[in-house]
Amino acid sequence: MTNVQSSNSGYPRIGGKREWKRALESFWNGSISEDELLKTTEALRLDNLQKQKEFGIDLIPVGDFSLYDHVLDTSIMFGVVPKRFAYSGGQVPLETYFAIARGTKDAVASEMTKWFNTNYHYIVPELEGVTPKLVENRPLAFYKEAKEKLGIDGKPVLLGPVTYCKLAKSFGDENFPVLLKQFTPLYIEVLKELADAGAEWVQIDEPIFTSKLSEKDFQHVQQAYAEIHEAVPQVKIILQTYFEKVANYEAVAALPVQGLGLDFVHGDSLGLLRKYGFPKDKVLAAGVIDGRNVWRADLDGKLTLLEEIQTYVEKDRLIVQPSSSLLHVPVSTQLEEKLDPIIQEGLAFADEKLAEIVLLSKGVNDGTETIAVELKESRNALSRLNNSKYRQNVEVKETIGKLTEQDVNRSLPFAERIKEQQRRFNLPLLPTTTIGSLPQTPEVRQTRSKWRKGEITDQAYEQFIKNQIDKWIEIQEDIGIDVLVHGEFERTDMVEYFGEKFEGFAVSQFGWVQSYGSRCVKPPLILGDVAFSEPITVKESVYAQSLTTKSVKGMLTGPVTILNWSFVRDDIPRYDVLNQIAFALRLEIEALEKNGIRMIQVDEPALREGLPLDLEKRESYLEAAVHAFKLATSSVENATQIHTHMCYSEFSGIIKSISALDADVISIETSRSHGEIIAAFENNTYDKEIGLGVYDIHSPRVPSKDEMKQNINRALKTINPNQFWINPDCGLKTRKEEETIDALKIMVEAAKEVRKDQLAVVKS
């Protein structure tokens, strides 16, 4: 290698118009065969590879494609299948693969949780009682496919053994050495077969290295990579890290690999180079283009960054690439036909980022004068966006600047205001509720689509939404749920919906990214100053409340989640944007309360996922998150009850921050983690009310009453019944009506039986 090379770390799986999602769901509902699914996804995969080739990317990733999740793919490659799925060895059938992810009638799905600090979810490996062995060399199959069908000598991508073992379920640090020792020979086997097939570079993803490992753990890491190097010296390994700076930098940089990938966008990797330098025997894969956000890069700034990097690494040992896999961004801005041109030209999705990478590589290799036209075009596009009306809302900036500590505190502490709330709502012991959204059937989605296309009138659409609310208020009352919801039938997505209503946001047409399985979300674009203009949720909430004497919760998405699940402008501090969102929500909450909605849920499912991987940044993040939530919710009356919801969270380290949110009721996912989250409350006093989700809504499986009672009773061993609410894990938007009704009926029956048992204990 004599010049800087361009590389990609991973490409979006879903297709520009979510072709991947439609194929998966068609297969799951029986509309297409397994063979048709595989042919459709192969065509999409090859198209993705061909596109990268045409862009001029030198090192094209292969093996980054997945039918569900790359961590699950790694498990399947090594025959890691939980016993309950009756796997008998050999290549894992596709039916079993999807069963692990989604569950079956007889077997619960494996746990799913967030991939580091992103909104992507992975399937947690279950290694207990499993003897791993290589049953299918997936990277090899993808490498051969690209070579034989497209003439691409690709860069196979594997999830690294350290990260895989660290993410596995039910194993603590004391088991890590045993696991790593089990898997290292299997990785060697994979790499040997890739070497025999002709693979020159292999990317091994080890994002776990952004977390600090103990000295003892790192001794085992060093041994594993030494064994790999000794067994397969002919393969050049790029050890790829991302999402933050490397925690054990000197030790990681000394591992016997040929390349090291660092994130120069989200972590201070430049600071590491300045302090420690870079090994003379390695290639640096410099992640200088943001793999997690969608704004056009400041190419002048990136060239300056690359110039400094070259003071530590010669040009012939430098690779230019994104900061992480482009899995986290949409495919292409070319499909966006409705955005203001000023906004569109300020964006860079996956394809545009590849073009930026190739352009930067050319500029470094041939001189910036060879890309002068492109640099000027990029410069002008950024200038037009930065000077646009979207970023000049003086009133918003002044309002946020005048806020005081008094603006972020309720007037009474929880212990006092809960008494007023109990008198107002008069709920039974162990009250039941749902998290907010109810099933959005094909009819709901089709009607919304027709309305957006102008095929039905506003009046007809509003009446349709009212009819859905009528129907589900009646269903909830018939089931016997204590606190109701209106169902959110008017909402596309819990973040996008608010992005369509607040000033400072824009919504794309095809800006989809994968969240979990076939579930794709379309994060809104926070491009300017965020402001409230008119009530968003009041009409539907008030209508639902008019239909019942029971309380109906107003439903909002919290400021931290809106921030973390949006593509956020990068020209001002992120926490400034957070406070703008919080103040806009504050005005919405006040509008709900003014119109008689006295139970208001402000969901923060993304609070934990936004926690920085760098331990030094966590305290400031949590302080900002608590401040924003309280800014949004603190102006209500004491008798108005504030709820919040969080999912897929490890709470043991942030219990104090959760309590500091000062929400009256919090609901948390627990079913897929089989109640493990409860342990976080065993050694921490939590004085507010809490609902631990009693069944998993991400699986179509309807659990039994005994399962739900078991989950409830397990929680009640730790949590006072007077504090406890009963609810599903999460919103029910993606579930079918019949399974939702069946599950909620069972949930209410289970709650009533446990309630009866608890009251009997009190009387005795």
659 is in an annotated binding site: no
Residue 155 marked in a binding site: no
Distances (CA, A) of 69 to 466, 608, 713: 38, 21, 33
Q: Of 70, 266, 643, 698, which one is the catalytic site residue?
A: 698
CA distances from 707 to 714, 726, 737, 739 (A): 11, 14, 21, 16
Whether residue 609 is annotated as binding a ligand: the answer is yes
* 119 appears as a binding residue in the annotation: yes
Spatial contact of 440 and 733, defined as CB atoms under 8 Å apart: yes
Q: Are 329 and 353 in contact (CB under 8 A)?
A: yes
378 labelled binding-site residue: no
CA distance 601 to 236: 52
What is the number of alpha carbons within 13 Å of residue 547 lying toward its C-beta? 21
- Whether 266 is catalytic is no
Q: Using CA atoms, how far apart are residues 713 and 754, in angstroms rounded to an integer?
A: 8
Residue 263 CA to residue 246 CA, distance in Å, equals: 9
Q: Annotate 100-153 with DSSP letters as a single string.
A: HHH--SSSPPPPEEE-TTSS-EEEPPB-TT-----S--HHHHHHHHHHHHH---
Q: Which residues are within 8 A (CB) of 357 and not within 5 positions of it... i.e. 6 or more apart? A: 6, 7, 8, 57, 289, 320, 321, 322
Reading phi first (left if > 0) and then psi (alpha if -120 to 50, else beta), residue 72 is in alpha
112 backbone dihedrals φ, ψ, rounded to 5°: -125, 135
The reply, when asked if residue 437 is annotated as ligand binding, is yes
**Distances from the Cα of 737 to the Cα of 22, 443, 518, 675, angstroms:** 20, 12, 19, 26
Q: 550 burial class (0-12, 13-18, 19+ CB within 10 angstroms)? A: middle
Site of tokens 């009251």: 759
**643 in a known ligand binding site:** no
Three-state secondary structure of 310-327: CCCCCHHHEEEEECCCHH
Binding site annotation covers 520?
A: yes
CA dihedral defined by 485, 490, 495, 501, rounded to 10 degrees?
A: -120
Task: Find the farthest-apart pair of alpha carbons in the chain and give their distance in angstroms, rounded.
Answer: 86
165 is in an annotated binding site: no
Q: Is 114 annotated as a binding residue?
A: yes
Count of helix runs (H) and strand runs (E) in the chain = 27, 22
Query: Residues 9, 14, 15, CA angle at the centre, nearest 5°?
Result: 95
Measured distance CA(469)–CA(485) in Å, rounded: 9
- Work out the burial of residue 542: count CB atoms within 10 Å of its CB; fewer than 13 is exposed, 13-18 middle, 19 or more buried: middle
Are 465 and 472 contacting, i.e. CB atoms less than 8 angstroms apart? no
Is 536 annotated to bind a ligand? Reply is no
- Which DSSP category does 714 fall into? H
| 488 in a labelled binding site | yes
**Cβ pair 154, 209 in contact under 8 A:** no
436 is in an annotated binding site: yes
Distance CA(591)–CA(534), nearest Å, equals 9
**Tokens representing residue 388 in the block:** 């646009």
For 436, list phi and psi in degrees, rounded to 5: 155, -65
Rg of the chain in Å (alpha carbons): 26
Sheet holding 599-603, edge to edge: 484-485, 552-557, 599-603, 641-646, 665-668, 689-692, 724-725
> What is residue 495's DSSP assignment?
T
Q: Is 519 annotated as a binding residue?
A: yes
Task: Confirm or deny that 20 is annotated as ligand binding.
Answer: yes
- Gap between the Cα atoms of 489 and 466, Å rounded: 9
Annotated binding site for Zn(2+): 645, 647, 669, 730
Which positions make up the binding site for L-methionine? 435-437, 488, 603
> Annotated binding site: which residue ranges?
18-21, 114, 119, 435-437, 488, 519-520, 565, 603, 609, 645, 647, 669, 730
Binding residues for L-homocysteine: 435-437, 488, 603
Binding site residues for 5-methyltetrahydropteroyltri-L-glutamate, as ranges? 18-21, 114, 119, 519-520, 565, 609
Annotated catalytic residues are 698
